Each structure stands twice: as C-alpha cells, then as structure tokens.
Structure 1
Amino acid sequence: MIFKTITLSALAFLAASPTHASEEQAQAQATAKKPLVRIPMHKVSDHEYVNRFLIRERDALLNLQSSESKMDGIATPRKLNALRGGKDESEIIKDYANAQYYGVVKIGSPPQEFQVIYDTGSSNLWVPEKGCVHCGYRLIHGGKNKYDKDASESFVEDGTEFAIQYGSGAVSGVFAEETITLAEDIAVEGQKFATIHDAAGMGIGYAFGYFDGILGLGFDSISVGGVETVFHNAIDQGLVEKPMFAFYLGDNADGELTFGGYDEDKFVGNLEWVPLSDETYWRIDLDEIKMGDFVVGKTDAIVDSGTSLIVGPTNAIRSIANKIGASPTITGQYTVDCETLDSIPDITWTISGKEYTVAGKDLTIQSGGMCIFAMIGMDFPKPGPAWILGDVFMRKYYTVFDYDGARVAFAEAVSSF
C-alpha cells in the first residue's frame, strides 16, 4: 500500500510537471556523449593501381609520339601550382590519378549517395551533377553517380561559379547549399558545395577511378570561394563529440575514417602530437629525412590522405631513385626491379624529435612482375610544401587530425592482416 501511494504520488508529480521533464530530457540529450562516427574507406587494389599506371603510361607515350616535341623520352620535372585560398583563387597542388582510398557521403533529402575521396589536402566538397560532361563512362565501373537537384527537398540554389585548375585542365561548376550526411549520424545542414558540369580537368584517372567527387578536410583558408568546410560546419553545429577525425588505412585491405575522435583499438603505444606550422593544409615541420646515405635537414610537409605516394622535390626524388636503381617513366614515376625490393633502404622522418620509419619494401606498389616506386617528384612554388606524406606513410601510422587544436598525432597502426 505504501509502495502504491508513493508511485501514484510520483505519477501525479510527473503529470503536473511536463515542462520540467521535457527540459531535463533535452538537457540530458544535449550533454550525452556522442559516439564515434565511422566511415569505411575502400581501397583500390594494388593490381588495379598498376593497371591504371600502365594505361597512363600508354596514353602519355601516344601523346608524345603525336606531338612535334623532341623530348628524349624521359619525363621532365613536374611543376604544379599550390592551392591558394580566397575568392577566385582555385589552383590545386595535385591531381587524383594515384588516389587509392574512397568512402561514401550522402547529399540531399532524401539522400543521394556518392563515393568521394576524403582529402586532407583540399577543402571543398564537389560531385558531378546530372548532365555533367567528361564525368566518366558507363562502361567503366558503371559510370559516375550524379547529383540531381530536382530530386532533393533540401536543395538551395546559389549559382556562384566554382572552378579548380588541375595539372591536366579545369573542373568547373556552380555552388549550391544542401544537407550533407556523413555515415548515418552527422547531417550537416546548409552546407555549401559544388555541383560540377565539366570534369575534363580530372583526366583519365577520374574516368577509371571508383570515386565520384572530392570531400576536402583541410582548413577554410584554402577553400575555393572561402567556403566553410563540411567538418568545420559539423563542429559549429555541435554534431561531433570532439573537433577531431582520424584515418586508419588498411594495408592491402579497407580502412576506416572516424569523426568526433579516434579509435584506440586501431593503434599501439601512445599518440605523439605535432603542432601545425600553419592552418592551411595539415602542414608540419620536419626535423630530418633520411634514406640510406640520402639526408635532408629541416624542411616541411603536409599530411595528405588524398595522395597515395610520398611526394618530394624533383631533385631529391631523382637522387633517391638513382641510388636504388629505379628507372624513370614517361609520366614522372619510377619503377624498380621486383627482385631488388629487399635492398631498398628504409626511410625515416624525424618529426618533433621522434623517428617514423617506413620499410624500403613498403615503398613500392606491386602487382605481377611490376613494382612501382611509391615516391614521386613534384616542385611546388611557395606557399606550397616541400614534401607530401601520403597514404604510404598513413598506412603505417594511424593519424589523428585535431581541427581546433591545430595539430596532428601519429601512432603505429595495428596490422590489418
């Protein structure tokens, strides 16, 4: 009887205080810890990577033969412009022919699904629109997924022109606003992104790639048009537990991208934090780079999930290639004799006093009887970086990106085998 009286009293109190109860519930929801949001990162196989390399080599040779150039057949040094943020500045430091990892993003209401490269080396989101030209071929991987603004209830027209200049040409379209969904949990509203109507500048690598577009994870300062990035908006809208994301890239396997923090099961030891040298790219200072008797003193690099290879100054990479007996190709990459992989020296980067080493045998991408050297030379004018630490580095070291803290962290990744 006492229990019944207490229960009825409690029910009466709750019935008389609906506002109080709803306020408590809202507060509890607001303070509840948000879970890590995980996006699987699919990896292009080494076999397919090598096949694409051979296609690019063939096309480059055909172009060379049809021109009046008197080149001697060895690639000239590659010089690309550095991406500069601001109103109409739209040059980017790379193309995506070598990209190996991609994942899903959803755009619109109801959501339309796209495969994108989650790229820490750029800051804009773009996908091809319905009617886009030079946007893949149906015979290759079924063609590209294309955004249909008429099928989305959350589409808001903007119309401002968007353009990025790649090494092989331009990619152009217009800005719009939409709801962007990462995994199933993060729905970023009112996000400005670009719908592309001509992707000719992506070249043959885009046609053969599994990705439809690019989702940049750099800083607003290098965003074309000064657009706030998807992740920055997610932070502002309170959609992530921490202003961090992290990459685990599987070696010969798929990987994972987490938003809102990092996964302690994906690495061994402790995370080592490194401050950024500036908040444009995820750019850090390097104390030293050493590979055999090749040594470079203080320099800098960007940590770039959208680049598969290790990129360095043309002269430096040429010197390394000569020392290991690598052969130059017409597209600027190098091949090595697969029988000599064990003789390739390890490479070590010293960052904030700590050494990070990648074994020499892991500096190649191998399929069948071909081994591609996973380092390439490019020269970037200022404010571009000297080096790029791409997926070759990030496969070995779990990498955390702290947006508000302006820092990155590295730890040895657990094996994906």
Structure 2
Amino acid sequence: MFKLVITILCLALIADAAFVRIPLNKPNKRRSVKNINALAAVLRHKYNPRKNVTSEELRNADNDAYYGAITIGTPPQHFQVLFDTGSSNLWIPGAPCAASDEACLTHNTYNASASSTYQLNNQSFAIQYGSGNLSGYLATDTVTISGLAVANQTFGVATAESNASFIAANFDGIFGMAFQQIAVDNVVPPFYNLYTQGLIDTPVFAFYLARNGTSSRGGELTLGGVDPKHYVGTLTYVDIFYESYWQIQVDSFSIDDTLVCLYCFAIVDTGTSLFGVPSDLYIGVQNAIGARSDTFGNYLVPCNYTSYLPVLYVNINGTSFNLTSDDYIVPVENDKGDIVCMSGFINSGGPVWVLGDVFIGKYYTVFDMEKDRIGFAPAAVNATVLN
C-alpha cells in the first residue's frame, strides 16, 4: 500500500510540511453540443482502451474543466494544468513546436535549454488516446505548485500532439493524480513526490469545485489535508477497489424509486466533466429521465420540462447522494446558436460508472492515499476560494 511504502521516508520530514491551497480556474463560456460529443468520445476510449495501449485522454476546452497554475524549471516557466484524478502522468507541451502542431503553438511550452535544473532523461514518451496521440520525451526538472518545489520530478514533454480538441483548451497540459500503477513508463506522479519530499502533511488531497464560480474563482484543490469550510455535515468514506484509478464500489444507483444498478463499480474522475453511465445501462438511463435522441445522437429534454425530471440517487457506503435535474441537465449551444437542454449522462464506453464533475461539483471529494479511500460530503454553497 502507498502509505507503507512512503511512511519511513517521510517520518523525519513531516513535522515541517505544509497544508496547501490551489485556486482553480474554469472556462467562462457556455458549452456547445459539438464539444459535449467530443467529450463523450474521449470518455469511451479512456475507460475502454485498446489492448496493449496505454490510454490517457485530453479534455475538451469548452467543458467545465478545472485547472490551475504550476511552474517548471529554473527560472520558472509557467503553465496551466488540468488536475486529473483519472490519469497519473504530468505532461506539458514542449518547444520547439512543429509548424503543423497548432496545439503546441497556441499554448505555453517547456524549454529545457532555458532551465538550469533540467536533467536529460534520454527516454521517449508517448500516450495513445481515442482520437489521436501525443509523443515527445521524458524530462526531469523542478516542478513547483503553490510555492512547493518538487525536486527531480520526471514528466512528459509533448513535442507532437494530434488531438484537435486540445487546440482550444484553456490549459496547457495534464497533472495526473491517480496511482503510479497506471502511469505511462511507470513515472512517479508528482503528488507522490510532494509527500515523500516532506512538502505536505499527509498524502491526502481534496477538490471543491465552485459550480457557479467565475473563470478565476472556479474552486480549490487542497494538498495535504481537508478544508472543513468547503463542506457541510460529515464525510462519508468508502475504500477504493485497488490502487490504479480512484475506483470504488457503489451500493446502488436509482432513478426515483427504480433501481438501476446494485453493487456497481465507479471511477471518481475530476478530468471528466459529466457523468459516465455503463454502456449496457446508458439508453435506459436516458429513457428514465425522458431524454430523447436527436438526429445526431444527442439526448435532449425540453428546457421547460426540466423541473419535472426524476432524481438520481447514488448510495455510497450507506449514505444517499442525490442529483436533481439542476445537476445533471446541461444547457448547451447548438449549431444554430440556440440554447438546448442536454442530458449530462454520457456513455462511459465500458462497464463502469464515472463520477465526474457533475457529481464532484455538488459533493466535496477527498482522495486519501494514506488509507486508500475516498470521502464525500455536500459541498458548501458560496464557500470562500482563493483569488
């Protein structure tokens, strides 16, 4: 287990460690039908990868992605990264960009030659994902997050990216926060090093996503502990299934009084904006909320009918968490510029449920690597977040 591996390493350091708050940002624009469809395609590949291929997906720019600032190198080079509990690698674009690589050209890029703390790794790096791939090399340098300098962190430098959805993304790269077991090339994730180097108190982090926040006040990620101001009541904890993704067993999913799934597996993923439903249950869930498919396969409900829609109940370790239509119906803009009401349930592409930001936005979520568990509690409304 994670705590057994690192406790001895951290014993002498932990007394001076920090509890850290990371302000989160999110795009300040309305989602579009096109981008919701792109997200659905991404999710289907993420948890149903091709055999013998490591899968890590990019997020779509116009969805409610929550991202924040880090720096890499000496002197610091600045990046915005998506904090993703559904993957385990840190990667950012790297200079020089190829003339044809629009995604690289439109984002901040890492320049190894400009950093005095860069260490040559001599290993190539590649991630295969549903609609393309990225490739480059591994580098080792100092990675700083909220003033905490992680020494000798290895990360991916993408010099070629073929995923079109990354071109308009508001963030530069991905900061993976799942377990090392699913990291490409078995690279040690940066959160591990934050703890083993004594920079945080405990191997625990938590997300508060401000669903009605602004682009610059989108919520807060805490590293090294939990902030009680961000939730109400008590936390309900559930053990993770095994150390890879943040995967748990859910007692049941029900829509009003109708049982949808009993003792099912779910992955808790901050990198997924919506709510993933297993492929064999997907159509049934859409029918249960009265959503109907348009000619493009999008599931919509009349916007004047949303207040009559049923409640989804997610029972976790004996506690019921509910999502109303205010939570799972997403106003989006269609190709004509009209606002339509789309179901926030998307096909996960496999047998698992995916509790994405639709769920995490309503319920403060704690990821505890020390005790191999996840905690949930109702998120505080209008909680204070950092500027």
TM-score (norm 1): 0.79
Aligned pairs, number: 357
Unaligned runs of 5+ in 2: 1-11, 333-337
- The AA in structure 2 aligned to 1:319 is G
Is the counterpart of residue 274 in structure 1 residue 241 in structure 2?
Answer: no
DSSP-derived class of the 2:184 partner: coil
* Mapped pair 1:49 → 2:14: no
Q: Does 1:144 align with 2:104?
A: no
For the Cα contact (< 8 Å) 1:103–1:116, is it kept in 2?
A: yes
The two structures, once aligned, show a CA RMSD in angstroms of 2.7
Q: Does 1:106 align with 2:50?
A: no
Query: Of 162, 165, 173, which aligns to 2:136?
Result: 173
Asked if the contact 2:150/2:193 (under 8 Å) is kept, the reply is yes
The one-letter amino acid paired with 2:75 is P
Residue 227 (structure 2) pairs with residue 263 (structure 1): yes
Alignment of 1:391 onto 2:357: yes
Partner SS, residue 190 of structure 1: strand
When residues 333 and 226 of structure 1 are mapped into structure 2, their CA distance, relative to the original with a 3 A threshold, is: farther
Q: Does the aligned pair in 2 maintain the 1:285–1:301 contact within 8 Å?
A: yes
Q: 1:372 maps to which residue?
A: 342
Residue 121 in structure 1 maps to residue 86 in structure 2: yes
Could you say what secondary structure the match of 2:74 adopts?
Answer: coil
The aligned amino acid for 1:366 is: P
Deviation at 1:38, TM superposition (A): 1.2
Q: Where does the alignment leave 5 or more consecutive residues of structure 1 unmatched?
A: 1-28, 61-74
Q: Runs of at least 4 residues of structure 1 off by over 6 A?
A: 75-78
**AA aligned opposite 1:132:** C
The separation in 2 between residues aligned to 1:41 and 1:56, in whole angstroms, is 21
Give, in whole Å, the separation in 1 of the partners of 2:345 and 2:149.
Answer: 37
TM-score (normalizing by structure 2): 0.85
Letter in 2 for 1:199: E
SS in 2 for 1:350: strand
Give secondary structure in 2 for the equivalent of 1:306.
coil
- State how far apart, in whole Å, the 2-side matches of 1:55 and 1:301 are: 24
Alignment of 1:129-208 (within 5 A): 129-133=94-98, 134-136=101-103, 143-184=106-147, 186-200=148-162, 202-203=163-164, 205-208=165-168
SS at match of 2:200: coil
Measure the CA separation in 1 of the matches of 2:374 and 2:356. Answer: 14
Q: What residue number does 2:379 align with?
A: 413
Give the match's secondary structure for 1:340: helix
1:233 and 2:193 matched: yes
Aligned match of 2:4? none
- Greater alpha carbon shift after TM alignment, 159-168 vs 291-300: 291-300
For residues 190-229 of structure 1, the C-alpha deviation after alignment (integer angstroms, 9 at most, x for no partner) is 11100001111x32x2112101100000000000001111
Q: Deviations over 1:101-151 (max 9, x none)?
A: 11111111111111111000000000000123434386xxxx200111111
Deviation at residue 378 of structure 1 after TM alignment:
2.5
| Larger Rg over CA atoms | 1
Distance 1:147 1:243, change over 3 A: same
The alpha-carbon deviation at position 259 of structure 1 amounts to 0.5
Matched residue SS, 2:360: helix
Structure 1 counterpart of 2:19, from 36, 39, 50: 36
Q: Using a 3 Å threshold, how does the CA distance of structure 1 residues 331 and 162 change in structure 2: closer, same or farther?
A: farther
Letter matched to residue 138 of structure 2: F
- Residue 36 of structure 1 and its aligned partner are, at CA, apart by 1.9
Q: Is the 8 A contact 1:108 1:153 kept in 2?
A: yes
Is the partner of 1:393 in helix, strand or coil? helix
Q: Quick one: structure 1 residues 115 and 81, their matched pair in 2 at CA, closer, same or farther if it must change by over 3 Å?
A: closer
In the superposition, relative to structure 1, how do residues 172 and 325 fare at CA in structure 2: closer, same or farther (>3 Å)? same
Helix, strand or coil: the match of 1:415? Answer: coil
Query: Residues 329 and 128 from structure 1, CA distance in 2 versus in 1: closer, same or farther, beyond 3 angstroms?
Result: farther
- 1:286 matched to 2:286: no
Change (3 A) 1:318 1:80: same
Select the structure that is richer in helix.
1
